[in-house]
Chains A and B, each alone.
Chain A
Amino acid sequence: MHEDHDDHTHDHSHDHTHDEYEALVIEDDAGNIEAQIIIDALQDVLISKGLLTAPEVTKEIEKLESPGIHLGAKVVAKAWTDPDYKQRLLSNGKSAVQEIGIAVGEAQIVVVENTDEVHNLITCTLCSCYPRSILGQPPSWYISKAYRARTVREPRSVLSEFGLDLEDDVQLIVHDSNADMRYLVLPQAPAGVEQMEADGLEAMVTRDHLIGVSR
């Protein structure tokens, strides 16, 4: 074994810095960091046993964090301007999203369409299920117990706190992503969509549109 490799292992069995892999910060609603301590210890053990390498951990974290709203916006803008694509997206969300080069890790993507008569809202009452390979990580309020409990029980009040006062005659459909499907809202296209460029359309799509707390 090379001497420098020995030094390398030696250093890391004694100090407690994690500069070789990115820290994944985990704390619960009350700010407790027990989970963080467990994760750090687990990573140290897995790396020291040679089951994982530090770059692999960092790569996985990057994979988790690199998707984002820009991917969701691309899907929506395409659906707004290509009626055939929109049909494919609504009938099989996963294959339509993959079609435009987005890697989908979820079992299935269900795309639900907002219309003049219908508004869709996505939640996960049991945990934090979210179409992460398209939208990245959910906002902290999406994971909060208040959002999770209230979106199924008093969804119109929640929407109103987000600044969306839904008219009484609009049908509100709440989707609880409790099992294997993941959901994405297809917002209504803006007026004059035919004259607009894809870039401009994508810029109009926000994360909140795709969750349904905005319309």
Chain B
Amino acid sequence: MSETKFRRFDIGDLVEVLDLGKSGHVRIPVYVRGKRGHVIQYCGKYLNPEDLAVGKTAGPAIDLYRVEFTQTSLWDEPDHPAQDRLIIEIYDHWLTAAK
């Protein structure tokens, strides 16, 4: 009912992807968990796929962000050029502010 318009993150914010250890239909791949990147776009609110997968369609809808990572921060392999990036969508509850 009282869906807040408050958004936790703005474009440019440095965020860290949490490792919630959830099972089921989780859309946050392991390779970005615990990694830090910048919010580059707010996508709107979407129903949580973790709920939808078990037939829970009533919501709430969750803020979804596109987050950009440097390839060098994601992988140990040394051969990624410094300017290369990976962008992925992360639901709000998987993010925390990073300092």
Interface residues of A (CB under 8 A from B): 107-108, 110, 125-126, 152-156, 168-169, 171-181
Bound CA span A152–B74, Å: 9
Residue ID in chain A nearest B26 by CB atoms: A126
CB <8 Å contact, B77 and A154 = yes
A75 to chain B, nearest CB (A): 20
Task: Please determine whether A172 and B27 come into contact, CB atoms closer than 8 angstroms.
Answer: no
Determine the distance from Cα of A168 to Cα of B66 in the docked complex, in whole angstroms.
25
Interface residues on B, range: 20 to 34
Within 8 A of A (CB), among B1-45: 27-29, 31, 43-44
Chain A residues contacting B28 (CB-CB under 8 Å) are: 178
Query: Which 7 pairs between the two chains have the least Cβ-Cβ distance?
Result: A179-B89, A176-B88, A171-B83, A180-B46, A172-B84, A174-B86, A173-B85
Q: Which residue of A lies closest to B65 (CB)?
A: A179
C-alpha spacing A11/B71, complex, angstroms: 59
One digit per residue, 1 when the CB lies within 8 angstroms of any chain A CB and 0 when it does not, for chain B 37-81 equals: 000000110100100000000000000101000010011010001
**A110-B66, A171-B84 known, 16 other contacts, Cβ within 8 Å:** A125-B29, A126-B29, A153-B31, A154-B77, A172-B85, A173-B85, A174-B85, A175-B87, A175-B88, A176-B89, A178-B28, A178-B29, A179-B27, A179-B90, A179-B91, A180-B43
Per a CB cutoff under 8 Å, which of B66, B74, B77 touches A181?
B66
**Known A-B contacts A180-B89, A181-B43; A153 and B77 likewise in contact (beta carbons under 8 Å):** yes
Whether A173 pairs with B43 at a CB distance below 8 angstroms is no
Least CB separation from B46: chain A residue? A180
Q: How far is the CB of B90 from chain A (nearest CB, A)?
A: 8
Chain A residues positioned under 8 Å from B85 (CB to CB)? 171-174
Q: Does the CB pair A176–B66 fall under 8 Å?
A: no
A66 to B71, CA, bound (A): 36
**C-alpha spacing A129/B69, complex, angstroms:** 20
How far does the alpha carbon of A179 sit from the alpha carbon of B83 in the complex, in Å? 24
